[in-house]
Every structure is written in structure tokens, then in C-alpha cells.
């Protein structure tokens, strides 16, 4: 049962006839489902999605029904992400980002996804940034629990030019003027989630709408100093009302000098759309020239990273490997300096950056290693664009074996070499084991173990 106040609000915005159509769709039809493939790993849609229709993304597809993603090894391999179709309109900013990169060729091209969990927009941005030179993404989520989920989805996507942080927006003041693009998919009253989440209906009220609008303005005001002059701001919500949407855009334009480039709603039933979504893109006045600035705090982290000079055969060309403690991490060469500078800022809570490629242990090799450090590959290596295919033995496995691996069950690889072996499914690396002959020791992190036979739900 949708709240009467919500229905009246929608009628004022859309008129009685259109509002009635939207209310009917929300009340009587199942939620939409869409996927977006990962260009780091596949070029074409998997066969099981051949009956889908196009979305606002070149990589996206709306599906006629929801399959059991948890039973698909390609899902666990990061070959695609399950995302709300309307949210894929974010890709409309890609041509503008290319123009901005051309306008300001000096330094890195930095993007912030401020409210990022569970990772839909961040993985989408990473796909777009793949074609923008020297680009990096900071993906932030204030909730530590949700940030952990974000880390898992980012790692599975496989891009190395990304950092995951867990900060309040005000905590980014040390990065004044650092970002070319800031995406704020703000916490909202969730009217666009009514088909997917009955709890969103139960929690809705006019007071909560006003509370959300005020919180959104606080979030925006705190983060705007971090946007470069002439920078691009994307502000979006999954709600319909003007208080959280158009009114906040007008406030930004009037108080912070933004020019509105795009502003639109998507409703259930709209072409290529899924659930409810509001999108706006604004550009700030100013001179785009100049280098990015990183303000280091007084208690900056010092000396944590040292360049790893030995050749690491598992890492592709174009990436630099650094050591921090007992771990080796790889960063894209074009943005390594910027990423490490951000890493040094003590006030930022950094949960993940670059790609962790190996564990390293000193004095553990004995005579077998000639006293050199022992380097052991990490699971995140084989998920990443960093991984040099063929540098480790690879074995293509069946769906049954793949799912046994994801459930951390014992698997046996007949005829496979001993030592570290990469498991592939559909030609895509998804697993890492140490084969000792009669059995394999799984290197799948316990947190990624599939524990249920029920299909998983992803936003």
C-alpha cells in the first residue's frame, strides 16, 4: 500500500494520468533486473543474457526475468555486475569526461564516487575510465560494513586505478581541488526502491523527505571544496520528489555557481529505465588549467611504500609494484604517484588501493631461495587487469567444479601441474589454488565463500 501523501506528490509532479500509470506499475509488477558486463574481462554478453534489451550503457542489458546469479561462475568471476538499469544513465557523462581530459592534460584525471556502496556506479566509472588516460577513482563509503562489500565488488571488477576509502564527506578537505569529477548518489527517501524493497515503503514519510533533503545539502556543501575549478558534479538519487531532486539542483546552481547540463527523472515503465532514478550533471565555472593538489596532513604516513625492483612475472607491463610490509601491490604507472600521495594522508581511512598481488616473506626461503624473500601470489592478483595471463598454469573447469570452489569444497585437478594454479571458467580467471597432487588448497578468501543455495540480491 503506497502512502497517500506520496501519491498526491506524484500527481502534482506528473499529472493524474501519468502518475496513475507509474503507481500501477509500482503496485502490480515485479521489479526490473539488469546486468552490465565488465569490459576488463569480456567483450560480448554471455549467452544466457541474449534475450535482454538495451540500456543507457553500451555494456548494459535489461533482462526479461531474474536468473540465479549465485549459481553462475561468471558472476563470481566479475564478468558482469547486477545493476539498476536507470542508474546506467551515468554513462551519458563519458563524452564530457573525454573533453575534460583533453582540456587539462597535466597530471592525473581524478574521479570521486562519494556514496559508493555496494559499487554499481564505481564499477561503471571504472569501465569508462579505462579509455581515459591516467585516470584514477576514489570510491568512498562512510559505513565500514558497506565499505567492506564495496571492496569485494571493486576487487572482483579488476581495475587497479582505484582506491576505496571510508570517510565522512568533510574528511576529504585535505584533497581541496583534487577531483575533476565528483559523483554524489546521495542517501535519499528511496521512492524509487518501492518495487524492490517493501521496507522503503514502510519508512517513507513527508518528514523523512525533508530530513533527507537537508542531509543531502550538508553532504554536497562538505564535498564541493574538493572539486576543481571547471569540474563536473553528478548529483543523483533513487527518489522522485522535487525537494530532494530539482530543489537541490537549484540550490547548487544559485549558491555555488554551477551550470546545469542535464537534469531528468526516470520512472518505472520508461524506455530503457528500470526503477526510479533522478540524474543531474552540473559544471562549475573556472579555469581548468593547473595541476592537482594533495594537501598532506601534519601526521602524514611516511615511508610505507618502497619500489619493488625485482621483476614479478605475474604482473603485466604498465604497472609499478611497491612493497608495504609483507605485501606487494601494483599500481598503474600513470597514476601511481598520485595514488601513493593520497595514501600518505593520515586523516583518510583507506581500505584498499591498487591491486594486492602477492605476500612477501623475508628470511623464509632458506637454501631453496638462496636467502631471497619468498613471494606468494594473492587471490586478488588473478581477478585483476594486472595479472599477466599465462604466467601461472591455468585450468579450465566445469560449472560444478567452479561452484565447488566458490563453496570452498575440496576439488581435485586431474593432470594439472603442482604448485599455484589459476582456475578459469569460460576462459576467465576466477580461482587460485595450490595444487599438491591429491588435493588442492583453496586460496579463496573465506569472506567470498558462497554459503547459500538461494540467489543473491545486488543493487
Q: What residues act catalytically?
A: 238
DSSP reduced 3-state for 368:
helix
Strand partners, 191: none
Question: Which among 137, 101, 111, 133 is positioned nearest to 288, based on CA atoms?
Answer: 101
Q: Which residues contact 106 (CB under 8 A, 6 or more apart)?
A: 289, 290, 291
- 34 CB-side CA count, 13 A: 24
Beta strands in 337-383, from DSSP E residues, in sequence order: 350-353, 355-361, 374-377
Whose cell is 531532486? That residue is 245
Strand partners, 185: 236
Question: To the nearest 10°, the Cα dihedral for 146, 152, 155, 161?
Answer: 10
DSSP string of 214-256? HHHHHHHHHHGGGEEEEEEEEEEES---TTTTHHHHHHHHHHH
Strand partners, 422: 394, 432
Q: Which three cell numbers stand for residue 210?
A: 525533508
CA–CA separation, 281 vs 136, rounded Å? Answer: 20
- The answer for 357, left when phi > 0, alpha when psi is -120 to 50, beta otherwise, is alpha
Amino acid at each position: 500500500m503506497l502512502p497517500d501523501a506520496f501519491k498526491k506528490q506524484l500527481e502534482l509532479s506528473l499529472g493524474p494520468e501519468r502518475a496513475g500509470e507509474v503507481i500501477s506499475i509500482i503496485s502490480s509488477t515485479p521489479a526490473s533486473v539488469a546486468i552490465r558486463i565488465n569490459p576488463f574481462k569480456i567483450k560480448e554478453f554471455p549467452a544466457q543474457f541474449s534475450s535482454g534489451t538495451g540500456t543507457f550503457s553500451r555494456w548494459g542489458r535489461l533482462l526479461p526475468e531474474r536468473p540465479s546469479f549465485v549459481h553462475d561462475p561468471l558472476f563470481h568471476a566479475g564478468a558482469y555486475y547486477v545493476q539498476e538499469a536507470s542508474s546506467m544513465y551515468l554513462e551519458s557523462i563519458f563524452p564530457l569526461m573525454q573533453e575534460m581530459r583533453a582540456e587539462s592534460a597535466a597530471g592525473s584525471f581524478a574521479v570521486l564516487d562519494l556514496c559508493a556502496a555496494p559499487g554499481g556506479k564505481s564499477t561503471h566509472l571504472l569501465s569508462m575510465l579505462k579509455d581515459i588516460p591516467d585516470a584514477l577513482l576514489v570510491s568512498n563509503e562512510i559505513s565500514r560494513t558497506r565499505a567492506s562489500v564495496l571492496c569485494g565488488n571493486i576487487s572482483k571488477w579488476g581495475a587497479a586505478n582505484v582506491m576505496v576509502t571510508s570517510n565522512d564527506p568533510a574528511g576529504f578537505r585535505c584533497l581541496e581541488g583534487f577531483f575533476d569529477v565528483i559523483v554524489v548518489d546521495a542517501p535519499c527517501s528511496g521512492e524509487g526502491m518501492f518495487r524492490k524493497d517493501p521496507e522503503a515503503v514502510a519508512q517513507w514519510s513527508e518528514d523523512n523527505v525533508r530530513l533527507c533533503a537537508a542531509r543531502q545539502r550538508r553532504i554536497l556543501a562538505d564535498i564541493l571544496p574538493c572539486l576543481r575549478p571547471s569540474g563536473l558534479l553528478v548529483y543523483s538519487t533513487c527518489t522522485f520528489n522535487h525537494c530532494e531532486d530539482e530543489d537541490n539542483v537549484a540550490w547548487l546552481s544559485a549558491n555555488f555557481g554551477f551550470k546545469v547540463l542535464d537534469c531528468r527523472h526516470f520512472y518505472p515503465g520508461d524506455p530503457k529505465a528500470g526503477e526510479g532514478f533522478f540524474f543531474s550533471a552540473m559544471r562549475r565555472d573556472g579555469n581548468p588549467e593547473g595541476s592537482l593538489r594533495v594537501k598532506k596532513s601534519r601526521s602524514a604516513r611516511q615511508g610505507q611504500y618502497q619500489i619493488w625492483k625485482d621483476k614479478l612475472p605475474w604482473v603485466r607491463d604498465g604497472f609499478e609494484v611497491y612493497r608495504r610490509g609483507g605485501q606487494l601491490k601494483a599500481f598503474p604507472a600513470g597514476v601511481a604517484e598520485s595514488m601513493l600521495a593520497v595514501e600518505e594522508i593520515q586523516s583518510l581511512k583507506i581500505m584498499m588501493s591498487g591491486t594486492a598481488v602477492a605476500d612477501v616473506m623475508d628470511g623464509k626461503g632458506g637454501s631453496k631461495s638462496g636467502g631471497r624473500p619468498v613471494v606468494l601470489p594473492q587471490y586478488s592478483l588473478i581477478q585483476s587487469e594486472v595479472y599477466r595471463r599465462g604466467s601461472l598454469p591455468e585450468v579450465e573447469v566445469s560449472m560444478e567444479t567452479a561452484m565447488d570452489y566458490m563453496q570452498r569444497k575440496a576439488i581435485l585437478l586431474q593432470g594439472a601441474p603442482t604448485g599455484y594454479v589459476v582456475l578459469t571458467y569460460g576462459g576467465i580467471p576466477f580461482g587460485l589454488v595450490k595444487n599438491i597432487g591429491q588435493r588442492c588448497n583453496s586460496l579463496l578468501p573465506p569472506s567470498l565463500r558462497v554459503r547459500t543455495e538461494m540467489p543473491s540480491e545486488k543493487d
